[in-house]
Copies of this chain bind each other. A is one copy, B any other.
Amino acid sequence: MADDSIANTPAPPYTAVIFTSLRDEVPGDGYAEMAERMDALAAQQPGYLGVESAREGVGITVSYWASDADAAAWKRVVEHAEAQRIGREQWYRSYRVRVATVTREYGHETP
């Protein structure tokens, strides 16, 4: 999975893909390995800017992309499409994907 950090995204605009899911934890069902593989594969795609991920009841993964086209291209990568198919059939009770354009951003770092 993604490391525990806040993605270091550039100035807006850019694209955020918000993936929210519910799943039943089944040890040994291959989910963790696939998630790790998909994180590594996503990071190699054109336009990838970063990812943030947490699961606590609901799972939320937000991936950031330079453009909508880059996000759409990642959705179609063959190995990723296969992971999506297994996800629908085996891992997820339900999920929703929201594609969004980030228009402004601000933050805070404790000195």
Residues of A within 8 A of B (CB): 2-7, 9, 12, 16, 18, 20-22, 52-60, 62, 68, 88, 92-110
10 smallest A-B Cβ distances: which pairs?
A: A4-B57, A100-B100, A96-B107, A54-B56, A54-B54, A100-B102, A94-B109, A60-B60, A98-B105, A98-B102
Q: Which residues of B contact A110 (CB under 8 A)?
A: 88, 92-94
Q: Which residues of B contact A59 (CB under 8 A)?
A: 54
The count of identical subunits is 2
Q: Which of B52, B98, B99, B104 contacts A60 (CB 8 A)?
A: B52
Q: Interface SS of chain A: helix, strand, loop or mixed?
A: strand
Q: Which residue in chain B gives the minimum CB-CB distance to A56?
A: B54
A94 engages B108 (CB within 8 Å): yes
Q: Which residue in chain B gives the minimum CB-CB distance to A104?
A: B99
Q: Which residue in chain B gives the minimum CB-CB distance to A8?
A: B96
Q: Which residues of B contact A96 (CB under 8 A)?
A: 6-7, 9, 105-107
